[in-house]
Amino acid sequence: MPPARGLHAHVLDTLGQRIVDGALDPGTVVRPELVADEFGVSRSVVREALRVLQSLGLVEPRQRVGTQVLGIGSWELLAPTVIRWRGASPAYFVQQRELLELRLGVEPVAASLTAGGSGASAVLDAAQDMLAACAREDSRAYLEADVRFHRALLTGSGNAVFAHFAGTVEALLRTRTSESRDTITRWTREAALRHEAVGHALVAGDGAAAAAATTALVGVTRDEFIAEAPRG
């Protein structure tokens, strides 16, 4: 039998994915005894999973009713775990568009603050690692460099809220490798060059140019996802 922590993670991921997929509608009562029977685990394992789901806004215990599933309006949509579940659901493209629109309002400002600072070179280094990975056709290395790029951009701003948002962006980037659709997730030199343009502006200390290059970078990605999204 897997260790208790592994059982908890399995129950948590399965229930969370079912809620996000819509297999458990809002208002559905989750009965711990039935979940325990289904997974062959103790009720304490189920209760632990439900506590995490509650912290993420997916369920809520109600007196004389039980633990009920909540709608998307209550979910912690910026939490990496929720992003991962939505990324594996039919809402994949919707989530990409929504969070890319949010990133358009955040990352250019972060870039203007990072420009000329001690963290600027880390952004450029990551962009150049993306170019090198692209030349090798190494998608894993490309993704890791992309994650480092955006983390350095946000943390280099000196704004603690922007730095915290880096976890959200990383989770979103990582959903692109967890699905099988043929999308713009294929790595391209043009995308890496857009990242490099941001890095050069940051190292030059040109906040306005860095913000403009970041707007172009995120905007192109958003437009590509909108174009790739299924119609209807």
Among 20, 53, 74, the domain boundary falls at 74
10-19, 34-43, 156-165, 172-181: segment of lowest average pLDDT: 172-181
The predicted structure's pLDDT at residue 5: 63
The SS3 assignment for 204 reads: coil
pLDDT at 15 over 70: yes
Same domain, 90 and 204: yes
Same domain membership, residue 184 and residue 153:
yes
Please give the average per-residue pLDDT across 46-54, as a whole number.
98
Phi, psi values for residue 127, rounded to 5°: -60, -40
Cα distances (angstroms) measured from residue 210 to each of 137, 144, 216, 226? 27, 22, 10, 24
Please state, in angstroms and rounded to a whole number, the distance separating the CA atoms of residues 177 and 96. Answer: 13
Question: In the listed set 74, 89, 115, which residue is the last one of a domain according to the structure?
Answer: 74
Q: How confident is the model at residue 232 (pLDDT cuts 50, 70, 90)?
A: low
Residue percentage of the chain with pLDDT more than 70: 93
CATH of the domain at 31: 1.10.10.10
SS3 state at 70 = coil
The pTM assigned to this predicted structure is 0.91
Same domain, yes or no, for 91 and 60?
Answer: no
Among residues 42, 74, 106, the one where a domain terminates is 74
pLDDT band at 182 (very low <50, low <70, confident <90, very high): very low
Q: What does the pLDDT average to over 212-231?
A: 92
